[in-house]
Structure 1
Amino acid sequence: MRRLLLLALTVMITVAGGFALPAFAQDQQKIPVLIDELPVAFDVQPVIQNGRTLVPFRVIAEALNVKVTWDGTTQTISATDGKISIRLQIGNKTAYRNENPITLDVPPQILNGRTLIPLRFFSEAFGCQVAWDNSFNGVRITSPPKEMAVIGFYALGDSKTSSWTNLFGKPYPETAKGNTDVIGELALGWYSLDKEGNLLTRSRTGWQRPDGWEKVLKAANKYNLKTEMVVHVTDGDGTISSLLKDEASMTRAVNSIMEEAVLYQGVNLDFEGLGYRDDGEQLKAVKDGFNKFVRLLAEQVRTANLTLTLTLHAPNSAYQGYDYKALGELADRIIIMAYDYGSTPEPVTLVKQAVETAKALVPPEKLLLGISAPTETAESILTKVGIAKRYGLDGIAIWRLGLVTGEMWDALRTNVIPRR
């Protein structure tokens, strides 16, 4: 999987190494580089030497989540993903890929205390997409497809936004491969809870289990898609707050969820709206109550050999009732709902902030980036995928099937490999 990330290094290579840059570009003192539409911040700017672009190696490698090491004694820099290894030496035109020698047009060099490497080497060693963009006189890089968890939230929709048709490419109940090659898991939004902890298949918020739901499970199995039951509850009327204050209701909820969970490979808990207007001790009580409920459910889920996913508001949202650190220890994974910030596409700065905050509290391999299809475009959705790649997250979760456009499907198809 990290090999694919390393492939992205190649992207950079093509930039100046794979083809000659436009003459006017060589006069630019600053060469901006974008990886998956995300800018790479250099403390030492890339340079062009003898028609070849050299870039700070460590910065590029880290942006692609590739491990690098520096040997000051031999002035050797290395990168590896466990399968592919690259080794270069300052001033030496011979580089090595898995110990196979490759002759460079321009050797690595040190500039202002930073090691710069020729992009051409990486383009020959790995295979990524790269292009010189005249609009900003810089390099636009698309990292290679990455294997990751790709979850699609499945809802009923209507004749125009049918999750079934959007996924399987045919009207219900017919099936075809459709877009099942892009999705690895289905989060089935069919359940809710009331204040007493009773499991509902029809809720006031519109989430409901459809007639013929068994056909969805059968089709998912046919196309090798994992499934998890989503229990969606909002706290607008105090449903969750009431539930979390009563131990008998929590126990009833856990038991009713587990009775239904045997039909799926996992449980996805989507409790929304916690902590909106709470602070101080009241906010702490909300967090503690939710932690307790998740702990009770996690014990039962693990005993049943299922997985537990939590779909949570982003840590930089208005809903502060989620203890990411504690919840990250209890659940198998967390989907960060890094959307609904009020503008479209979703602002990259806030999405990155959400991921960085969550990653400081939860291991990245337990985190997935939630992406809202209605507030993204085919281009911007790739930037969000790029954020998941850059921060080493386990994958992405798309809200929702039925709203993913054909252009978005095509874009995702070239950038992700769904883990199954």
Structure 2
Amino acid sequence: MKAFVSLLTCVVLVCFFALPAFAQEREITVRIDGLAVPLDTPPLLDNGRTLIPFRAITEALNIPVVWDEATRTITATDGVVNVMLQIGSTTAYRNDVPISLDALPQIIEGRTLIPLRFFGEAYNCQVVWDSAKGEVRITSPSQKMAVFGFYALGDSRTSSWEDLFAQPYPAKGTGNTDLVSDLALGWYSLDREGTLLTKSTTGWQQPDGWEDVLEAAREYGMSTEMVVHLTDSDSTISDLLADETAMEEAVQSIGEEAELYQGVNLDFEGLGYRDEGEQLEEVQDRFTAFVSLLSQQLHATGHSLTLTLHAPNSAYKGYDYQALGTLADQIIIMAYDYGTQPEPVSLVQQAVEMAASSVPPQKLFLGISAPSESGESITTKVAIAKRYHLGGIALWRLGLVTDDMWQSLRLSIQPK
């Protein structure tokens, strides 16, 4: 995995590796980027040195591990960087270079535990021991991933342009464009008849000077998508999907406008609320049918299709992830609006696990709502995308991403 190679960019804090003796009296937990690492064998203290379960930690960082029973050696490699340890030996190897260990690797309950000091030196991770919490905190290095930035009409305080280009409109600079790979431009909606709108009742509209955004996106190497946003609060989507003529009009109108962009981002919200049984299946089938028509239209002209969907563990069940995953190029999981801030990690993880059970993970992008997060919590949300091998993240929305969030993102994500 490429994530393994990028681990060579972090800083080691060795002073935290020797844990106080009292730490062994309670369970020691391990977190990577704020996410707890499931451990079937806990870390232990050996003569003042901390040993951690090697496989659990490295695989949480997407590094494959192999155990050789004959030689009693354990290796971790991505084909570029190789790490090898042998049970009973105080010498380990990284790319065939010997490294002395300050404690012997051990097998406890069938799991290999290695010195925490070596883990930091081999992978150059930032590792901190929190004695108050009895916790080892590991910060993984930045990783390449795609970042969708939703660009929508804001105001003088929440300008998408200024947040992206770090200059008041129409001036522009690199700003945060190096982190954003794709712009999802929230400028379109539809009516019941399938007419494409550039001004909607929900506030989504095409701003004056929108052509400047497209020109600037090309200049800074960002792909663009036209977002078609619609809610079913007044049954607009339901009426549209029940009318074959209206669907055909919508698909044709979207396809014609898509010539200005690299792709389309379909954001139909509110489907399936309180629907059950056959009625819910009908809602899902109608939406899938519309997506199928749009997918055929766009792919025939070389355009991509992204779906922005409610999370599968939300109250809106009108989305057949498995069927939609075969039609769309990407799916953004709106894993937010659970009712607390920051968004609960357990529910976000559950949403990703449910989606990934039906859709290839590389097609999935974790939607992150900036108003719900902080500079610290957004790191953990990115870590979920890393751990589950997702294609990247999507930020709702530019203009609401604060400076401390951008700083955290820069530590977690490599610029494109």
Q: Which residue of 1 aligns with 2:2?
A: 3
Return the letter of the residue paired with 2:344: P
Contact residue 266 and residue 307 of structure 1 kept, 8 A: yes
Structure 1 residues 9 and 363, CA, compared in 2 at 3 Å: closer, same or farther? farther
Contact residue 153 and residue 160 of structure 2 kept, 8 A: yes
Structure 1 residues 417 and 14, CA, compared in 2 at 3 Å: closer, same or farther? closer
What is the CA–CA distance in structure 2 between the aligned matches of 1:196 and 1:83, rounded to whole Å? 56
SS at match of 1:330: coil
How far apart are 1:340 and its partner, in Å?
0.3
Q: Which residue of 1 aligns with 2:283?
A: 286
Q: Which residue of 2 aligns with 1:50?
A: 47
Q: Which residue of 2 aligns with 1:416?
A: 413
Contact residue 10 and residue 125 of structure 1 kept, 8 A: no
Q: 1:201 aligns with which of 198, 203, 226?
A: 198
How far apart are 1:318 and its partner, in Å?
0.3
Q: Which residue of 2 aligns with 1:160?
A: 157
SS at match of 2:381: helix
CA deviation digits over 1:287-346, x for unaligned, max 9? 111111111111122222222111000000000000001111111111000000011111
Return the letter of the residue paired with 1:32: T
How far apart are 1:120 and its partner, in Å?
2.3
Q: 2:265 aligns with which of 252, 264, 268?
A: 268
What is the CA–CA distance in structure 1 between the aligned matches of 2:306 and 2:286, rounded to whole Å? 18
Moved more, 371-380 or 25-34: 25-34
How far apart are 1:218 and its partner, in Å?
1.0
Q: 1:181 aligns with which of 166, 171, 178?
A: 178
Structure 1 residues 176 and 303, CA, compared in 2 at 3 Å: closer, same or farther? same
Return the letter of the residue paired with 2:200: S
What is the CA–CA distance in structure 2 between the aligned matches of 1:188 and 1:248, rounded to whole Å? 26
What does residue range 4-403 of structure 1 map to in structure 2 within 5 Å?
4-5=3-4, 8=7, 14=12, 19-24=16-21, 27-403=24-400
Q: Percent of aligned positions with the same letter in both sequences?
A: 62
TM-score of the aligned structures, taking structure 1 as reference length = 0.94
What is the CA–CA distance in structure 2 between the aligned matches of 1:200 and 1:406, rounded to whole Å? 33
Return the letter of the residue paired with 2:317: Q
Return the letter of the residue paired with 2:58: A
Structure 1 residues 7 and 115, CA, compared in 2 at 3 Å: closer, same or farther? farther
Task: Show structure 1 runs of 5+ residues with no match.
Answer: none
SS at match of 1:233: strand
What is the CA–CA distance in structure 2 between the aligned matches of 1:96 and 1:308, rounded to whole Å? 46
SS at match of 2:42: coil
Contact residue 9 and residue 123 of structure 1 kept, 8 A: no
Task: Show structure 2 runs of 5+ residues with no match.
Answer: none
Structure 1 residues 401 and 25, CA, compared in 2 at 3 Å: closer, same or farther? farther
Contact residue 9 and residue 143 of structure 1 kept, 8 A: no
SS at match of 1:91: coil
Structure 1 residues 316 and 6, CA, compared in 2 at 3 Å: closer, same or farther? farther
What is the CA–CA distance in structure 2 between the aligned matches of 1:314 and 1:90, rounded to whole Å? 45
How far apart are 1:247 and its partner, in Å?
1.8
How far apart are 1:28 and its partner, in Å?
4.2
Contact residue 33 and residue 140 of structure 1 kept, 8 A: yes
Structure 1 residues 409 and 314, CA, compared in 2 at 3 Å: closer, same or farther? same
What is the CA–CA distance in structure 1 between the aligned matches of 2:148 and 2:95, rounded to whole Å? 34
Return the letter of the residue paired with 2:289: K
SS at match of 2:112: strand
Aligned residues: 416
Contact residue 151 and residue 396 of structure 1 kept, 8 A: yes
How far apart are 1:252 and its partner, in Å?
1.3
What is the CA–CA distance in structure 1 between the aligned matches of 2:393 and 2:198, rounded to whole Å? 26
Return the letter of the residue paired with 1:296: L
Structure 1 residues 10 and 209, CA, compared in 2 at 3 Å: closer, same or farther? closer
CA deviation digits over 1:113-171, x for unaligned, max 9? 11111222232222222212233132111110010011110011011111111111111
Contact residue 133 and residue 140 of structure 1 kept, 8 A: yes
Contact residue 6 and residue 66 of structure 1 kept, 8 A: no
What is the CA–CA distance in structure 2 between the aligned matches of 1:312 and 1:133, rounded to whole Å? 38
Structure 1 residues 364 and 413, CA, compared in 2 at 3 Å: closer, same or farther? same
SS at match of 1:131: strand
How far apart are 1:18 and its partner, in Å?
6.2
How far apart are 1:4 and its partner, in Å?
2.7
How far apart are 1:94 and its partner, in Å?
2.6
User: What is the CA RMSD across the aligned residues, in angstroms?
Assistant: 1.9
How far apart are 1:83 and its partner, in Å?
2.3
What is the CA–CA distance in structure 2 between the aligned matches of 1:318 and 1:301, rounded to whole Å? 30
How far apart are 1:21 and its partner, in Å?
2.6
What is the CA–CA distance in structure 2 between the aligned matches of 1:186 and 1:28, rounded to whole Å? 51
How far apart are 1:348 and its partner, in Å?
0.8
Return the letter of the residue paired with 1:4: A
SS at match of 1:325: helix
